[in-house]
Chain A
């Protein structure tokens, strides 16, 4: 296990290093001056000379890269070209907001997704199975940006049930600290805490529900397919031969093994979730990383693009590696396969 851990961690280091190379390269590939692109300081600015020197402007690429790395580790990620806000602090703030809806949507997707997938597998090729499968395939094909607009039109505007966009009613004056609105309300302890929480939930419910749909449909299909695979295995038969009840065979043997297969494909799910989170954030003006990154691309705010890319990709890589390690730790027989392959 420690050997595997070491390998995965070195893999993480290598990929993160590649990522910094990419981000560094972006500074050169973007149009405009390299120093401005990475630091966000315009040549007209009086600080420009200092910054240029600190970032090794005239020197060769290698010293530029090492200067870039040292800035990166110090948390000096430059400032936004648009509003002059420091990128690193903005990221820290927006990270929480993104994580909040992504996590909640993920949980919301998991709760009905797993049982529905199991049910479909148990009623293989019966009407229930066909219905669930058809629904999940069509649900998977709904373009999320279109569906979100329709939901806003019907639920938020026409029925007026929930607000259209934003995190909370600005009247509550919650200062963002962690980025996650619920956490911020608890940190702030405002006068009308109940009402503030209610407002936050009302703002949150629509984006989270819409965000949860596509991952849920994917989970249903993954779960059904792996469950079908597991139910055909011999150890299910031997479970029945031991005289176990159907419920115990499913719960003790079928489900854990099916979950293992689903775990393997969780990477696809995470990438789907992140993609949709970015789009949803743009639509609902959610102050997270995704909407920020998209806006910065549109406005050619290069330091923000670099920072946003670095953080989102690093997050995905971290989750992937963590999943790999967890998978190998939880399911010992996988480790054997891994050693055999290497």
Chain B
């Protein structure tokens, strides 16, 4: 039996609940969340779902348009490319390269960056504002340019591109973490905890960290968006993933020669990339709004 609400209880929703409410109130944000979930599932179990192998070629079905056009074939729902490979299969496999790997890279970069950032913020010597200003200025160099340089040293290839992006993202996480902790250290509640005599580690992990985790989550979505776009861009410039790898960026680069004859080969990987980026950005933006709204209270 539901309890009758005799008295109106003023209840503020828990922080996570508030984020959820913010998502619920926006249909587009919900759609983005489901989309992201869908892409994640594809990334994890994708190869179990695909009918063919990623590089399996069908000589009898070269450059077949999607199934709904007149000359399409239902065996190949989104058609085939110029070498007779199934587009659906390649796109699903591509999710691993263009979404799964960036997530991993950003996770690793975030872990390293946050640990270093926390260490830098908690040590007294590195507090100088000069270093902050220096980092601020150096941070203005675009990530893709830095990644290009690293790839130039190491040579083209997916592994090197991933390494480069990871390396570029670490300072960003470091910087954000350090600044967030610094800002938080000026707050009265941190001073109060210090006066209570808590240890430095406790101060960091139990007092400051819960309050900056929101900032880090938002930074994570920003980093993820950057990583996805940059890895695809490197693939497109033929400096990242190399040809037969079904990475969306390099698929796009491969399709350029046949783009006029069979435009779907070019349109589909880009569309996949676009949907992924929109979802990540929308979820990130909604999180940011929800968190800002919490801060307002």
**Residue B126 at the A interface, CB < 8 A?**
no
User: How many B residues touch A, CB cutoff 8 Å?
Assistant: 44
A44 CB to nearest chain B CB (Å): 23
Most chain B Cβ neighbours within 10 Å, of A12, A146, A267, A298:
A146
* With contact pairs A15-B134, A26-B153 given, residues A313 and B141 touching in the complex (Cβ less than 8 Å): yes
**Residue A178 at the B interface, CB < 8 A?**
no
**Residue A65 at the B interface, CB < 8 A?**
no
When distances are taken between beta carbons in the complex, the residues of chain B under 8 Å from A341 are 129
When distances are taken between beta carbons in the complex, the residues of chain A under 8 Å from B67 are none
**Residue A170 at the B interface, CB < 8 A?**
no
When distances are taken between beta carbons in the complex, the residues of chain A under 8 Å from B148 are 278, 293-294, 297
When the two chains form their complex, are residues B134 and A294 in contact, meaning their CB atoms are under 8 A apart? no
A76 vs B233: C-alpha distance when bound (angstroms): 32
When the two chains form their complex, are residues A138 and B142 in contact, meaning their CB atoms are under 8 A apart? no
A228 CB to nearest chain B CB (Å): 10
- Mask, A294-330, CB within 8 Å of B = 1, is 1001101000010001001100110011000000000
When the two chains form their complex, are residues B237 and A141 in contact, meaning their CB atoms are under 8 A apart? no
When the two chains form their complex, are residues B259 and A153 in contact, meaning their CB atoms are under 8 A apart? yes
When the two chains form their complex, are residues A30 and B145 in contact, meaning their CB atoms are under 8 A apart? no
**Residue B112 at the A interface, CB < 8 A?**
no
When distances are taken between beta carbons in the complex, the residues of chain B under 8 Å from A157 are 260
A142 vs B229: C-alpha distance when bound (angstroms): 9
**Residue A334 at the B interface, CB < 8 A?**
no
**Residue B277 at the A interface, CB < 8 A?**
yes
Q: Which residue of chain B lies nearest to A143 when distances are taken between CB atoms in the complex?
A: B273
When distances are taken between beta carbons in the complex, the residues of chain A under 8 Å from B267 are 150
A320 vs B232: C-alpha distance when bound (angstroms): 27
When the two chains form their complex, are residues B236 and A279 in contact, meaning their CB atoms are under 8 A apart? yes
Most chain B Cβ neighbours within 10 Å, of A7, A15, A137:
A137
A143 vs B269: C-alpha distance when bound (angstroms): 11
When distances are taken between beta carbons in the complex, the residues of chain A under 8 Å from B71 are none
Q: Chain A interface secondary structure, helix, strand, loop or mixed?
A: helix
A274 vs B143: C-alpha distance when bound (angstroms): 11
A7 vs B148: C-alpha distance when bound (angstroms): 30
* With contact pairs A18-B138, A146-B270, A321-B137 given, residues A279 and B252 touching in the complex (Cβ less than 8 Å): no
When the two chains form their complex, are residues B229 and A143 in contact, meaning their CB atoms are under 8 A apart? yes
A244 vs B237: C-alpha distance when bound (angstroms): 55
Chain A binder among B14-22, B82-90, B278-286: B278-286
When distances are taken between beta carbons in the complex, the residues of chain B under 8 Å from A26 are 149, 152-153
When the two chains form their complex, are residues B270 and A143 in contact, meaning their CB atoms are under 8 A apart? yes
| Chain A residues at the B interface, C-beta cutoff of 8 Å | 7, 11-12, 14-15, 18, 26, 29-30, 134, 137-138, 140-143, 145-147, 149-150, 153, 157, 267, 270-272, 274-275, 278-279, 282, 293-294, 297-298, 300, 305, 309, 312-313, 316-317, 320-321, 341-342
A-B contact pairs, 26 of them (CB 8 A): A11-B134, A26-B149, A26-B152, A29-B153, A30-B153, A143-B232, A143-B274, A145-B249, A146-B252, A146-B270, A149-B256, A149-B259, A270-B140, A271-B143, A274-B142, A274-B145, A279-B233, A279-B237, A293-B148, A298-B156, A298-B237, A305-B149, A309-B149, A312-B145, A316-B141, A316-B142
What number of A-B contacts does a CB cutoff of 8 Å give? 117
Q: Which residue of chain B lies nearest to A301 when distances are taken between CB atoms in the complex?
A: B152
When the two chains form their complex, are residues B140 and A267 in contact, meaning their CB atoms are under 8 A apart? yes
Q: Which residue of chain A lies nearest to B130 when distances are taken between CB atoms in the complex?
A: A11
**Residue B239 at the A interface, CB < 8 A?**
yes
* With contact pairs A26-B149, A153-B266 given, residues A141 and B133 touching in the complex (Cβ less than 8 Å): no
When the two chains form their complex, are residues A149 and B134 in contact, meaning their CB atoms are under 8 A apart? no
When the two chains form their complex, are residues A141 and B281 in contact, meaning their CB atoms are under 8 A apart? yes
When the two chains form their complex, are residues A275 and B266 in contact, meaning their CB atoms are under 8 A apart? no
**Residue B263 at the A interface, CB < 8 A?**
yes
A338 CB to nearest chain B CB (Å): 9
When the two chains form their complex, are residues B137 and A11 in contact, meaning their CB atoms are under 8 A apart? yes
* With contact pairs A146-B273, A274-B145 given, residues A14 and B140 touching in the complex (Cβ less than 8 Å): no
A66 CB to nearest chain B CB (Å): 23
* With contact pairs A149-B252, A279-B237, A313-B145 given, residues A320 and B137 touching in the complex (Cβ less than 8 Å): yes
A272 vs B142: C-alpha distance when bound (angstroms): 7
- The 8 Å CB contact of A271, one of B134, B141, B260, is B141
When the two chains form their complex, are residues A342 and B129 in contact, meaning their CB atoms are under 8 A apart? yes
**Residue B215 at the A interface, CB < 8 A?**
no
When the two chains form their complex, are residues B145 and A142 in contact, meaning their CB atoms are under 8 A apart? no
When distances are taken between beta carbons in the complex, the residues of chain A under 8 Å from B140 are 267, 270-271, 316-317, 320
**Residue B194 at the A interface, CB < 8 A?**
no
* With contact pairs A143-B274, A297-B148 given, residues A317 and B141 touching in the complex (Cβ less than 8 Å): yes
**Residue B176 at the A interface, CB < 8 A?**
no
When distances are taken between beta carbons in the complex, the residues of chain B under 8 Å from A342 are 129
When the two chains form their complex, are residues B133 and A134 in contact, meaning their CB atoms are under 8 A apart? no
When distances are taken between beta carbons in the complex, the residues of chain A under 8 Å from B134 are 11, 14-15
